[in-house]
Amino acid sequence: EIVLTQSPGTLSLSPGERATLSCRASQSVSYNYLAWYQQRPGQAPRFLIYGASSRATGIPDRFSGSGSGADFTLTISRLDPEDFALYYCQQYADSPPTFGQGTKVEIK
Amino acid sequence: EVQLVESGGGVVRPGGSLRLSCAASGFTFDDYGMSWVRQAPGKGLEWVSGINWNGGSTGYADSVKGRFTISRDNAKNSLYLQMNSLRAEDTAFYYCARGWTSSGYKSYWDYWGQGNLVTVSS
């Protein structure tokens, strides 16, 4: 199965700053079938990005995804207070679908 | 508005059984594959099982294969997860999630239920 490794484990930033989250796969992810989710405490995951770089409906344009092959990035251009949360990447190219272990974006 | 509402969770002893249900509304249920994804308290996300639009194709994580069974009833707009031989490590919030296509579980999930806690403890 494809193992996804996210870094860093925790990102400490201030509102208005830029956040850059990394997701590295153990092998190339076909068709860039890579998604990102946000999870706030006590809530279900929220779908953000699919196909590595396409934003889901209703997701603000401060969220952007990039990358290909085995290296992917989620960028939040200017952190809003509501953006401090956990973020997971997920591949759906291969079975079983797998998630990274998550990156926590916390207020500095 | 798309809604997924899970039910059926609770406390069960090791070796016991439980059946989770997910009631779907706000979309044409049989146009989509569906999955169950779980999250142990304080831990990350783990795909558990998925099913295609008509139930003809299913998949399971190795950790639950042979113990869990996924099914759906399109007439009732409902998804199910029958969990047998439960273990302490199955303790988690279980989320019902809608896949992006009809075809199966190699998918991302665009809508999620609120989660239902299953606790396996003696």
Phi, psi dihedrals of residue A94, rounded to the nearest 5°: -130, 155
Residue B84 has pLDDT above 90, yes or no: yes
Which of A95, A98, A101, A104 is most worth mutating to test chain B (most B CB atoms within 10 A of its CB)? A95
Closest CB to B109: pick one of A47, A94, A95: A47
Token pair for B84: 């047998």
Which residues of chain A have a CB within 8 Å of the CB of B110? Answer: 47, 50, 56
Closest CB to B115: pick one of A33, A44, A93: A44
Cβ of B112 within 8 Å of Cβ of A47? The answer is yes
CA count, 13 A, side-chain hemisphere, B35: 31
Residue B12: its pLDDT value, please?
A: 97
Q: Calculate what percentage of chain A has a pLDDT beyond 70.
A: 100
Q: What is the mean pLDDT of residues B55-84?
A: 97
- Rounded Cα distance between A3 and A23, Å, is 10
A83 three-class SS: helix
Which residues of chain B have a CB within 8 Å of the CB of A98? Answer: 47
What sign does the dihedral B50-B111-A81-A49 (CA atoms) show?
positive
Q: What is the mean pLDDT of residues A43-53?
A: 98
Give A61's pLDDT tier (boundaries 50, 70, 90).
very high
Cβ of A99 within 8 Å of Cβ of B113? The answer is no
Closest CB to B105: pick one of A33, A35, A97: A97
pLDDT in tens, B85-117: 999 999 999 999 999 887 778 899 999 999 999
CB B68 within 8 A of CB B120: no
Q: How many CB pairs under 8 A join A and B?
A: 56
Residue B105: its pLDDT value, please?
A: 81
Closest CB to A88: pick one of B44, B100, B111: B44
- How long is chain B? 122
Phi, psi dihedrals of residue B107, rounded to the nearest 5°: -155, 160
B61 touches chain A (CB under 8 A): yes
Residue B103: its pLDDT value, please?
A: 73
pLDDT in tens, B25-56: 999 999 999 999 999 999 999 999 999 999 99
Cβ of B95 within 8 Å of Cβ of A44? The answer is yes
